[in-house]
A and B are shown apart, each in its own frame.
Chain A
Amino acid sequence: GQNIDQPTEMTATEGAIVQINCTYQTSGFNGLFWYQQHAGEAPTFLSYNVLDGLEEKGRFSSFLSRSKGYSYLLLKELQMKDSASYLCAVRDGAGGSYIPTFGRGTSLIVHP
């Protein structure tokens, strides 16, 4: 099985930078996804990491260290609309199943 940990809630100020961490334990790591979910809406894909390093997409970046079982999502120049839940999902290829397992999500509140 997998153990995926994310902080439950974070708050930040508009215009600031926030880093949301995700730690995991797997026996056959095969990729990590980040999703954004606004209240009452579907999760939407943000980023995918399978190799170590940083992936940048505009204001959002995601980092992965496979040896440490660690990823983070970095949000720059925060806007009010970034208030949402951020879900980390890890794919474990051990046992032949490639279905991602989701963490419990981090609720981010951006205030003026």
Chain B
Amino acid sequence: DVKVTQSSRYLVKRTGEKVFLECVQDMDHENMFWYRQDPGLGLRLIYFSYDVKMKEKGDIPEGYSVSREKKERFSLILESASTNQTSMYLCASIDSFNQPQHFGDGTRLSIL
């Protein structure tokens, strides 16, 4: 069974801090994704990666960057956290695009 693991379930940070959210998958999937989920807005794509060191902007990349140095790990970086980045962050992976995405349990991030 595919396992997507996010490093923290809950995280509290301060405005202006640099924040790292880590995601690891154990199925050698090519493609990995970062979403944020907000009430009434659904899941919105921040960034995705289709290979090591490759990344593409999603629908809402502003204020975020990503890193994929190894195939199994995809990191989301908030360069200077702001209160409007308080949200639930979900990581997902798939092998090919006609397969369903496998999601991690999410990180609930609060920026104070």
* A residues lining the B interface (CB < 8 Å): 8, 31, 33, 35, 40-45, 48, 50, 87, 89, 91, 98-105
* B residues lining the A interface (CB < 8 Å): 4, 33, 35, 40-45, 48, 58, 90, 97-98, 100-106
Known A48-B100, A99-B33, A100-B101: A43·B42 in contact at CB below 8 Å: no
Please name all residues of chain B whose beta carbon is closer than 8 Å to the beta carbon of A104 when the two chains form the complex: 40-42
Min CB distance A73 to B, Å, is 14
Interface CB pairs A-B, < 8 A, 5: A8-B40, A45-B100, A87-B43, A91-B97, A99-B97
Min CB distance B5 to A, Å, is 11
Known A31-B98, A104-B41: A43·B103 in contact at CB below 8 Å: yes
Q: A102 touching B100 by the CB < 8 A rule?
A: no
Q: B33 touching A87 by the CB < 8 A rule?
A: no
Q: B105 touching A42 by the CB < 8 A rule?
A: yes
Interface centre among A40, A43, A91, A104 (most CB of B within 10 A): A43
Please name all residues of chain B whose beta carbon is closer than 8 Å to the beta carbon of A31 when the two chains form the complex: 98
Q: B100 touching A42 by the CB < 8 A rule?
A: no
Complex alpha-carbon distance, A91 and B101, angstroms = 12
Complex alpha-carbon distance, A16 and B4, angstroms = 34
Report the nearest B residue to A43, measured CB to CB: B103
Q: A42 touching B42 by the CB < 8 A rule?
A: no
Q: A42 touching B48 by the CB < 8 A rule?
A: no
